[in-house]
Structure 1
Amino acid sequence: MTIRFDGRVAIVTGAGGGLGREHALALAKRGAKVVVNDLGGARDGSGASATAAESVVAEIVAAGGEAMANAASVTDYAAVEAMVAAAMAKWGRVDILVNNAGVLRDKTFAKMELDDFRFVMDVHLMGAVHCTKAVWDIMRERNYGRIVMTTSSSGLYGNFGQSNYGAAKMALVGLMQTLSIEGAKNDIRVNCLAPTAHTRMTEDLGARLPLDLLGPDTVSPGLLHLVSEDAPSRCILTAGAGGFERAYVTLTQGIRAVGEDAPEQVAARFAEISDRTGEIVPEMGAAQGMIELTKAQHAAG
């Protein structure tokens, strides 16, 4: 069945270029009305201009779609609320939120200023929190919502020189995990997308990547599924060069170690603790405690 978004309204942050632009164009092509949000700053978050967002809106309108530009900084909650209010005033609904806005301030942790760490966290994590909070009650009242957080392999698995970026991107996974649980009763499905694409954000890696294979357009098909009516929830979808994979946060069966020599038991049996045979993907955080209590009860039993 063809994925369509007729009658749906989507907000895409950081949509003035790169992945966000491609997401916005793809949604509009399939019938969505799109709020194209972009502060228009440099890659490190400095400066601002509405030109980038307006350019994407012009592309959408020229192709017969509907869109509106917005230059709010996602770090400014009042501006984000005003953006959502403008969408509601124009179209009366918000069905889809794509938290894509981001910045880079890469340095090794030893050389990184705390202000640069904090700013990257503010844009990626708090920016997504602000946008999600601004649409959450609207989606709850309509019993429908599709939200995507843009995570990264730098958060899932680490990357040299990106402690701030990686911390922010992994925090978004935690946010997604909880919001997918809380939103379930109102059919608000929340997922993460971890893209690999050649954009302004990755241009420094150019010499090491086959750029012709890594267009943003190879990622957006996954995004369209994650915000469709038949979307999954609580999924970490990785995407790039036309490849799509799924990442999981898993839990091994582990062991039980008690007594004075418990630290030594942990050390001696660490390979057993690490054994992935029978590992699970917990339904929620309480699963860890249940596994641990079950071990204790069996030992007592």
Structure 2
Amino acid sequence: MQIFENLSKIKKPIIEYDERRYIFSIRSLILLTIGAPISAYLIYLFFDWEAQFWLHEIVVKQTVYFLNLFFNMGAEAQFAPSGKYFWKFSIPGQSPIYFETFCTGIQAICIFAGIIIFTPHSQDPTAREDIVWRKTKALIVSSVIFYVVNIIRMIIQINLYYIGYEWADIHFSISAASSFIAAIIVLLMHKWIPEFIISIIYTGTLVSEPLKQKRKKQVKEMVEKSNKAELKPMRKILKMEKKTFSRDISSWSDDFGYTIEGDYLVIPPEKASKFIELLMQDKPFLKESE
């Protein structure tokens, strides 16, 4: 709770993307973190309930239809309730393949549904004006893509099994290979719901802000006492690359009229107050460096 209280006191950052401003409440970010996985799990449990096994029937029968259409293999969809398996594929010359909820691909749809539903809305009215439509579109398109890809995956796997490949060899490998579709869905989501990726960046900014303020405060106190600042925290404040820091900090200090002595940045006494002013602004040293 103390963490949330500290975060609530921080000035909210504003992220601008595609000519829109994104500002999120702490509450909405917490809801995304907690609500998305819980809702995904609950949706999956709903479809794993016996009353929803109509989905098993649809997927099995559609897969069998395309197997026989493309490969004329004589596959059959058989209803054979036994434990968690209610449907199975009957493949000529091979042992049957039993079907469970996980084989429907619904788990991927559940995960993305949870993310889409709980992705936070920007507090800026322009950015959130069409968010419901964008979420609806992303949910429908991602669900259709996952469903179709899952059918294609099973067609490929069962055909390879039919021609003689070991089921254990093809089942997990092809399932893993098809996971690249998730990356495509993420790209589609970013097109229609950039709020998801932006909210992750936003959260990182909020979490790191107390550390940034603490670092700036330590530098400020040291400059007030000795007109010096350690180079290590200055590198992080100025967001300079470690590999090129020596060169970059030397050039930067010359521009501002500071000098470097060992591991310290030395600020002339007459420039100390201006240094602190530039240090403590939201974007340190931005105005003068421009």
Structure index of larger Rg: 2
| Larger relative contact order (Cα-Cα within 8 Å, sequence gap ≥ 6) | 2
For normalisation by structure 2, the TM-score amounts to 0.22
For normalisation by structure 1, the TM-score amounts to 0.21
Q: Which has the higher helix share?
A: 2
